[in-house]
């Protein structure tokens, strides 16, 4: 059984992992997608559906962490307009 603290921890982990992207657009997409996914599933009450959603979130966290490693190893050569404005 997945409890509330595990779900919140997963949400925080996904948000933290998304902040590691060097590209502004991907950071914002990851943040938006994470929050939308958790909002969409916030009313789940069936334990099997909650377990299923939690497992999907964990697999997405693994994907994000793996892609961040690749993205950091091979960063884009140019910056986008949002990153130029922030400097």
pTM equals 0.84
Chain centroid to Cα 50, Å, comes to 18
pLDDT in tens, 35-66: 999 999 999 999 999 999 999 999 999 999 99
CA distance 51 to 87: 43
CA distance 8 to 19: 17
Number of domains in the chain: 1
Which pLDDT band, with edges at 50, 70 and 90, does 86 fall under?
A: low
Query: Residue 67 is part of which domain span?
Result: 4-83
């Amino acid at each position: 059984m997945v409890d509330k603290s595990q779900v919140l921890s997963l949400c925080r982990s996904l948000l933290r992992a998304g902040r590691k992207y060097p590209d502004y657009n991907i950071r914002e997409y990851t943040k938006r997608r994470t929050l939308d996914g958790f909002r969409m599933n916030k009313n789940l009450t069936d334990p099997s559906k909650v377990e299923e959603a939690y497992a999907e979130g964990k697999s997405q966290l693994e994907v994000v962490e793996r892609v961040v490693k690749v993205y950091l190893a091979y960063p884009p050569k140019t910056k986008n307009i949002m990153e130029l404005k922030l400097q």
